[in-house]
């Protein structure tokens, strides 16, 4: 049998994986129909390893396991909320950990996935920022978060994907670029581009690359303030990519852009914030997602009270902006980005001391 492919075939696009398997099958003298059996087992009808592909003869399965091993994420912990939200903590081969959150809503199952272990951006309201940056994820580690859920129960296959877990996806563009193709491609997971959202603080070079892709992936901009002077203390990245420049690039997207806006009492929920945000959103034709503050960020940040959140949303609507208040999900578990990792890390430190 031929030498194994370097890395993992799960790091390739479906077209790349098909070409690689086609060459291998040809070198092994296999009939053409074998290729049609192999490719769907990567993403469309995934298996944990080639030994599970019982439609194939055992010698071929052994050869495939040798040539094209399929790595797995290790599921360390799952928390399930009373509202059905599920938080996953995945352990990586090098001991690092990442999180995913599966949010069911009727027939929709939205999976928030991580693109990095930790995060370098240090946004004050985000628990992941307390971890610091560990490393980028590879394509298979990104889409492996989807793959593992499907392997566990195909009925749980996500209908919607949001790059809104740990990390800034556009700081890991090369891997995210491949992952987007794996998620959307007909020979991949086959999830429609309009059901895949990339959330970014505004990494302009990668935003431009995403805008050039032909698929209609959705863009969400983590705004959280309506001007750079207010945004910069919360989100230091604004020093490098200021808000005006970020929104100028966002206007290149053909699909409607979403503004993500975590409401923090006394910080960004004042009447003047409302007026400026409404003006920004109208110019951009953006939908505004208003998010209650989850615990886990900097000490001293206080969530905006529910009545003020409702008034803020009504104020946006009355000014011609479509605004949605996102109900906090999984509050009885560690559902916000980084919360579960930090809690488990603190528990381990306490056990060692």
- Per-residue pLDDT tens digits for 277-320: 999 999 999 999 999 998 766 668 899 999 999 999 999 999 99
| Residues 193-226: tens digit of each pLDDT | 999 999 999 999 999 999 999 999 999 999 999 9
Indicate the Cα dihedral angle 54, 58, 60, 62, nearest 10°: 110
Q: What domains can you pick out in the chain, each with its CATH number?
A: 9-67 (1.10.150), 74-348 (3.20.20.70)
Decide if pLDDT at 37 tops 80.
yes
Decide if pLDDT at 349 tops 90.
no
Q: How far apart are CA 39 and CA 76, in angstroms?
A: 28
Q: How far apart are CA 111 and CA 88, in angstroms?
A: 10
Q: Report yes or no: 156 and 123 within 8 Å, Cβ to Cβ.
A: no
Res 1: pLDDT: 40
Confidence (pTM): 0.91
Decide if pLDDT at 42 tops 50.
yes
End-to-end CA distance of the chain: 51
Decide if pLDDT at 6 tops 80.
no
Which residues are tagged catalytic? 99, 337
Q: What are phi and psi of 198, to 5 degrees?
A: -105, 120
Q: How far apart are CA 353 and CA 45, in angstroms?
A: 45
Decide if pLDDT at 69 tops 70.
yes
Decide if pLDDT at 153 tops 70.
yes
């Amino acid at each position: 049998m031929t030498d194994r492919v370097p890395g993992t075939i799960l790091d390739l696009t479906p077209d790349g994986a098909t070409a690689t398997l086609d060459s291998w099958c040809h070198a092994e003298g296999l009939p053409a129909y074998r290729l049609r059996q192999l490719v769907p087992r990567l993403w469309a009808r995934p298996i944990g390893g080639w030994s599970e592909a019982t439609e194939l003869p055992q010698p071929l399965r052994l050869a495939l396991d040798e040539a094209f091993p399929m790595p797995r994420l290790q599921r360390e912990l799952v928390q399930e909320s009373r509202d059905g939200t599920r938080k996953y903590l995945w352990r990586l081969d090098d001991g690092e950990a990442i999180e995913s959150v599966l949010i069911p809503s009727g027939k929709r199952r939205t999976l928030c996935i991580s693109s990095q272990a930790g995060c370098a951006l240090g946004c004050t309201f985000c628990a992941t920022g307390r971890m610091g940056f560990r490393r980028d994820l590879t394509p298979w580690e990104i889409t492996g978060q989807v793959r593992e859920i499907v392997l566990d129960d195909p009925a749980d296959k996500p209908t919607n994907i949001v790059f809104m877990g740990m990390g800034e996806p556009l700081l890991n563009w090369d891997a995210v670029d491949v992952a987007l193709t794996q998620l959307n491609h007909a020979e991949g997971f086959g999830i429609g581009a309009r059901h895949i959202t990339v959330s970014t603080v505004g990494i302009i070079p990668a935003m431009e690359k995403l805008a050039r892709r032909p698929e209609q992936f959705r863009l969400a901009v983590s705004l959280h303030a309506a001007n750079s002077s207010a945004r910069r203390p919360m989100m230091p990245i604004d020093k490098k990519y200021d808000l005006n420049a970020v929104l100028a690039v966002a206007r290149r997207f053909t699909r409607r852009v979403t503004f993500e806006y975590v409401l923090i009492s006394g910080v960004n929920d004042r009447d003047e914030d409302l007026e400026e945000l409404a003006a920004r959103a109208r110019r951009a034709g953006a939908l505004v997602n208003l998010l209650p503050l989850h615990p886990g960020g900097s000490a001293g940040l206080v969530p905006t009270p529910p009545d003020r959140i409702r008034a803020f949303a009504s104020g946006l609507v009355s000014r011609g902006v479509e605004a949605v208040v996102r109900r906090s999900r999984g509050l009885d578990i560690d559902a916000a980005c980084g919360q579960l990792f930090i809690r488990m890390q603190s528990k381990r430190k306490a056990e060692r001391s």
